Amino acid sequence: MERVAASEDLKVRSGIACRAGDERGALRHTWLERRLLYEMRADREVWLAAVPGAPLPEVLAGISFQLEKLRVFLASMIADFSPSQLVDQGPLWRLQERTKELLRQSLHEIYVADGLILSLQADLRQAIEAFTQVSSEAEAVWREGDRTTKTEYLNLMEAKAIRLRDALSLPQGVVLP
């Protein structure tokens, strides 16, 4: 992991489960690794052999749906990975309401000011944009493309999907401030 210094590693790899962490895992592992990238490799020959105008493979046709989920994830990730949620679980939960309110606010401010989550969000945004641009051409390539065009296209899409997968590797759990 080059984007985060070793001393900061624990902050973005706390391993403390949160809903957004599950969502990140599902997008990265279930969709990108085990579905899209896997099928791009396993079915490549079949896809290349298909005649122009053949139906778009299901996994490629489903990209727009996954992109919508990604955009929702991106928009809410700062709130969803915030350490302020830790105030409402574990021992801090028993504190008085006013104390909890002040703690939530302070922890969230430190976390945002630290900049780590913002840089992860910016990186993910770029990766989504690049992937969106490539994936939007899929239908046209399938409608008209010959084997060479499709090969080049799939290579490009694979590179952008890997870039997206890497951008989704963090945070692993609630981010510590």
Partner 1 sequence: MELYSIDQADARFGIETADYITTKARQPYELERPYVVLFHLTGPAETRVHASLPKLMENPNAHVLCFKGTMLAGLDKNPEVIEEMRGKYPGRVHFLVPPVPLGEPGPELKKRMSKFQEYLKTAKPPVNWEILDPKIREYLLALWLAMRALDAAGPNSQLEAALRKDPVLRNIIIQAEQEYQMLRADPKASLNLALINHHRAKPVAAEIWKELQLLKI
171 preceded by a cis bond (ω within 30 of 0): yes
* Position among 27, 60, 87, 141 found at the interface with partner 1 (CB under 8 A): 87
**Judging by beta carbons within 10 Å of its beta carbon (0-12, 13-18, 19+), is residue 24 exposed, middle or buried?**
buried
Build a one-symbol-per-residue string for 8-47: x at contacts with partner 1 by CB under 8 A, - elsewhere: -xx--x-xx-------------------------------
Q: Using the minimum distance from each CB to partner 1, give the nearer residue, 1 or 61.
A: 1
**Four-residue CA torsion sign, 146, 152, 155, 160:** negative
Kindly state whether residue 117 participates in binding partner 1, applying the rule CB under 8 A: no
- Give phi and psi for 172, each to the nearest 5: -100, 90
Name the site residues for partner 1 (rule: CB under 8 A): 9-10, 13, 15-16, 83, 86-87, 90-92, 94-96, 98-99, 102-103, 106-107, 109-110, 177
